[in-house]
Amino acid sequence: MNKTRTAAIAALALALPAALAACSGDDDGPVTLRYAFWDDNQRPALEAMIKAFNEDHPDIEVELEQNPWEDYWAGLDSRFAAEEAPDVFWNHVSRFPTYAANGVLLPITDDIEADGVDPAAYPEDLYDSWQYEGDQYGLPKDWDSIALVYRLDALEAAGIDPATVNDLEWNPVDGGAYVEFLQKLTVDANGNNALSPDFDPENVVQYGTAMSSNTGQTDWWNYAVQNGCSLQTEPWGDYAIDAPECVEAIQFTADLYNKWHVAVPAESTNQPNGGVPGDYVVPGQAATTLDGSWMLSFYRDGLEPGSWAVADNPSGPVGSGTVINGLSNAIYAGTDHPDEAWELVKFLGSEEAQSISTGMGSVWPGVSSLNQGFADYWAGEGIDVTGFQTAAEGTTTGYPLSMNDAAFGTAAMDEFNQVWLGQKDAQEAAEAVVAIANAE
Amino acid sequence: MQTLHDTEPRFEPESAPRKHRRSNAAFEAYAMLAPSILGFAVFLIAPIVIVVVLSFYDWNLLSDPEFIGLENYRELAGDERALKSIGNTFYYVLLNIPAQTVLALLLALALNSKIKARNTFRVLYVLPWMAMPVALGVIWRWVFDPQYGALNRFLDLFGVDGAAWLTDSTWAMPVIASVNIWQYSGYTMLFFLAGLQAIPAQLYEAADVDGASPLYRFFAITLPLLRPAMLFVLITSVIGSFQVFDTIHVMTAGGPAGSTATLNYQIYLESFTQRNAGYASMLAVILFAIIALITLAQAALFRKRTTYDFS
């Protein structure tokens, strides 16, 4: 019959033999490190960096363990429980507080000092975001921000000059130039755009934008910053998305779906089943999207060179703004090979390693001096990526820092999915999320 | 005398090896059972005991569990999501079991008659059960996509506006149930088919002589004699149905708005997205209790009925 057992039982059952097998010797022979990550786009860069690492460390073999984002954290948590976690893994700001507070991360403060790693090589904010109670728990791997990605053919067909795309403004009252831009790009089967009185919203062949973030990072959080909303009262503080300026941004996002009909419908884009924004832009279902810098290679691999470009984010009532984030490489506190793991993390945080990934156009580097190398790679591909840098230098917000991230994330996806579908009021949903996330 | 003398020694040495052989056989039997008993203990008994114990703990998977007594059980009373998931589970079982059982029975009746390409059909109907539920779930998710899915494209041809099947809280659960009915009916059919073939042909011949209608024959002979198969099918499919996970995980992940989060799925969410493994263990104990009660009730229900006298 439906041959399933509860996942909990399965995980615990798996933990037994794992515990029995956990005794591996720590002699001087070759050591194997397991290195966990989630982003498929970055795999080639990781492999190249590990190859370079092995030139100096032939005795340390690095095994890549890849799980998609949706399964990554549940898998990591259950392997922490089984005390069988990968030695080194990608860490995310949203999970960092809980991991650091529960002692599953290895502090590297002393190693940094002993080996003379210079924290000034990284942007201060980025480096400091991996600190907890005076200890450092990772070295910055990269940073990312959000910018507007668009298809040139769609703009041409709509008669929009690409030079105007950098200065789009929106407001919650009449939508502003940004919504007008998206309306021109939303075209129905009869060739009418969303500004036309004959426009048929039930029969759209190309939408202006696609929004399918599972948090808000590539959609409504950006409108939130641009409207003066802070997701949290302060870092480590309460969630505050029920404030008027936040609710207004949520309502504006819902309007893009249901009032202006310029976004691929939420029936398709709602997470966890919807695609990534690029899944709608590459086949032409959407003309533009706000997307993260880590996705550039996705567009490069999916679209013809010269058929797409990057522009600045739109500006809202309080100006421009974006969501900024960065990942780190962290070490599992229970690793059998802390010294080798540190060698790997140190290398991955070095200028040498990160120049490999920027040289492949993978991600903006954690090491500040390499930013130009990333921009140069993309200039060589005919893509001007300064939109991401401009965004990062302006007003930004990061992922909320909280121990209640899991409760917040689940409640937000649940509630806002209903708002995007037009089934729930923005204020009511925001209050429900805050009530759940601040309760714990 | 001679015969007695002759038989005696023959008797003695024979009895001793026989005894020896018997204990030898028992040893061999236990030795052969040992791997499965070990597997049973390690993979079934131990996890069940661990889950029951964990249900009295607060555990976030990351640090040591903390004993909190009955707190998890007390919390359940005020947990709307968990209570709703129990309701969702019964809703799913009611959508799933009657339709699946009736469909499987009809398929078995059809494929028990002498139609052409009977074996081909039998294989075809069992195929969905043989395929990976997760892979099938992914494909069905594409089929049910409201914008670009095959189903709504097909309905479009007839001018019918298809629903947003998996993001509409009214439709999501019936869609999940129908996918599972499709997937498991063929498998359930196999048990009915075996049951049908075990019914003695002379009963039908006697009924023919008495001039019984086909419908009467079905209710007087076929259905009562299928009772052992029916009991097996209902008990196993109801248990399986209460434990549905993979289709939901792939197609809706419990959404929209928790409308397809069954109790089993809620256990997963609590444990692996909320890191409440102790609370999830409590829910697992509740699920176990519900399934045990329903299985006992089913067995009792089937026992109460009078048995058909063959002799």
- Distance in Å, alpha carbon of B29 to nearest chain A alpha carbon: 26
Query: Mean pLDDT throughout B236-240?
Result: 94
Residues B49 and B124 placed together within one structural domain of the fold: no
Residues in B closer than 8 angstroms to A418, CB to CB, are: 256-257
Query: Mean pLDDT throughout B92-119?
Result: 93
Residues B101 and B193 placed together within one structural domain of the fold: yes
**Residue A86 reports pLDDT greater than 90:** yes
Position B66 in a domain: no
Residue in chain A closest to B235 (alpha carbons) equals: A1
Contacts of A242 (CB under 8 A, 6+ apart): A427, A430, A431, A433, A434
Residues in A closer than 8 angstroms to B257, CB to CB, are: 414, 417-418
Alpha helices for chain B (secondary structure H) = 2-40, 46-54, 71-76, 80-112, 118-130, 133-143, 150-157, 172-197, 201-209, 214-217, 223-225, 227-242, 246-251, 263-272, 277-304
Distance CA B273, CA B160 (A): 38
Is B62–A264 a contact, with Cβ atoms under 8 angstroms apart?
A: no
Residues in A closer than 8 angstroms to B245, CB to CB, are: 2, 4, 6-7
Is B244–A4 a contact, with Cβ atoms under 8 angstroms apart?
A: yes
Q: Which of B43, B251, B284 lies nearest to residue A8, judging by beta carbons? A: B284
C-beta atoms surrounding B296 within 10 Å:
10
**Residue B15 reports pLDDT greater than 60:** no
Contact B276, A81 (CB under 8 A): no
pLDDT band at B17, cuts 50/70/90? low
Q: What's the confidence (pLDDT) of residue B133?
A: 87
Tens digits of residue pLDDT in B118-133:
888 888 999 999 988 8
Query: Mean pLDDT throughout A81-105?
Result: 95
Q: What's the confidence (pLDDT) of residue A20?
A: 44
**Residue B23 reports pLDDT greater than 90:** no
Whole-number percent of chain A with pLDDT over 90: 83
Contact A137, A376 (CB under 8 A): no
Is A6–B267 a contact, with Cβ atoms under 8 angstroms apart?
A: yes
**Residue B8 reports pLDDT greater than 60:** no
Distance CA A52, CA B29 (A): 57
Is B60–A102 a contact, with Cβ atoms under 8 angstroms apart?
A: yes
Query: Mean pLDDT throughout A212-226?
Result: 94
Q: What's the confidence (pLDDT) of residue A440?
A: 65
**Residue B311 reports pLDDT greater than 70:** no
pLDDT band at A351, cuts 50/70/90? very high
Lowest mean pLDDT segment, chosen from A99-103, A338-342, B8-12:
B8-12
Query: Mean pLDDT throughout A94-100?
Result: 93
Q: Which of A5, A104, A272 lies nearest to residue B62, judging by beta carbons? A: A104
Query: Mean pLDDT throughout A207-223?
Result: 95
- Distance in Å, alpha carbon of A406 to nearest chain B alpha carbon: 5
Domain ranges of chain A: 30-144+325-366, 146-323+396-437
User: Which residues lie across from A139 on neighbouring strands?
Assistant: A329
Is A77–B43 a contact, with Cβ atoms under 8 angstroms apart?
A: no
Residues B16 and B111 placed together within one structural domain of the fold: no
pLDDT band at B179, cuts 50/70/90? very high
Query: Mean pLDDT throughout A83-88?
Result: 96
Question: CB-based contact (8 Å) between B291 and chain A?
Answer: no
In B141-180, the residues whose Cβ lies within 8 Å of chain A are: 141, 145-148, 161, 164, 166-168, 180
Residues B81 and B201 placed together within one structural domain of the fold: yes
Question: CB-based contact (8 Å) between B65 and chain A?
Answer: no
Q: What's the confidence (pLDDT) of residue A24?
A: 44
- Distance in Å, alpha carbon of A188 to nearest chain B alpha carbon: 14
Contact B188, B100 (CB under 8 A): yes
Position B38 in a domain: yes
The mean predicted confidence, pLDDT, of chain B is 88
Residues B14 and B109 placed together within one structural domain of the fold: no
Residues B14 and B155 placed together within one structural domain of the fold: no
Lowest mean pLDDT segment, chosen from A17-26, A189-198, A209-218, B74-83:
A17-26
CATH class of segment(s) A146-323+396-437:
alpha beta
Position B165 in a domain: yes
Residues B36 and B102 placed together within one structural domain of the fold: no
Tens digits of residue pLDDT in A45-62:
999 999 999 999 999 999
Q: Which of B145, B237, B239 lies nearest to residue A268, judging by beta carbons? A: B145
Position B42 in a domain: yes
CATH code, domain with B218: 1.10.3720.10
Is B243–A4 a contact, with Cβ atoms under 8 angstroms apart?
A: yes
Residues in B closer than 8 angstroms to A73, CB to CB, are: 273
Query: Mean pLDDT throughout A278-300?
Result: 95
**Residue A338 reports pLDDT greater than 60:** yes
C-beta atoms surrounding A68 within 10 Å:
10
Query: Mean pLDDT throughout B5-17?
Result: 47
Query: Mean pLDDT throughout A234-246?
Result: 94
Tens digits of residue pLDDT in B132-173:
889 999 999 999 988 888 999 999 899 888 888 998 889 999
Contact A166, A155 (CB under 8 A): no
Position B198 in a domain: yes
- Distance in Å, alpha carbon of A119 to nearest chain B alpha carbon: 29
pLDDT band at A154, cuts 50/70/90? very high
Residues in B closer than 8 angstroms to A7, CB to CB, are: 245, 267-268, 271-272
Distance CA A298, CA A294 (A): 8
Phi, psi of A91 (to 5 degrees): -115, 150
Residues in A closer than 8 angstroms to B267, CB to CB, are: 6-8
pLDDT band at B20, cuts 50/70/90? low
Distance CA A111, CA A353 (A): 18
Fold of A30-144+325-366: D-Maltodextrin-Binding Protein; domain 2 (3.40.190)
Contact A307, A151 (CB under 8 A): yes
Residue in chain B closest to A12 (alpha carbons) equals: B47
Q: Sheet harboring A308-311: ordered strands across?
A: A187-188, A204-209, A286-292, A146-151, A308-311
What SS3 state is found at A320?
coil
Tens digits of residue pLDDT in B29-77:
888 898 899 999 999 999 999 999 999 999 999 999 999 999 999 999 9
Structurally, chain B folds into a number of domains equal to 2
pLDDT band at B19, cuts 50/70/90? low
pLDDT band at A235, cuts 50/70/90? confident
Residue-number span of the structural domain to which B15 is assigned? 2-54
Whole-number percent of chain A with pLDDT over 70: 93
In B235-274, the residues whose Cβ lies within 8 Å of chain A are: 236-237, 239-241, 243-247, 251-253, 255-258, 264, 267-269, 271-274
- Distance in Å, alpha carbon of B145 to nearest chain A alpha carbon: 7
Residue in chain A closest to B96 (alpha carbons) equals: A2
Q: What's the confidence (pLDDT) of residue A350?
A: 96
Position B61 in a domain: no
pLDDT band at B1, cuts 50/70/90? very low
User: What are the Cα distances from residue B66, in Å, to A264, B53, B181, B271, B278?
Assistant: 47, 11, 42, 15, 9
Is A417–B255 a contact, with Cβ atoms under 8 angstroms apart?
A: yes
- Give the amino acid at A134: G
Residues B20 and B127 placed together within one structural domain of the fold: no
pLDDT band at A70, cuts 50/70/90? confident
The DSSP H or E segment spanning A188 is strand A187-188
Residues B162 and B274 placed together within one structural domain of the fold: yes
Residue in chain A closest to B161 (alpha carbons) equals: A202
Contact A271, A413 (CB under 8 A): yes
**Residue A18 reports pLDDT greater than 90:** no
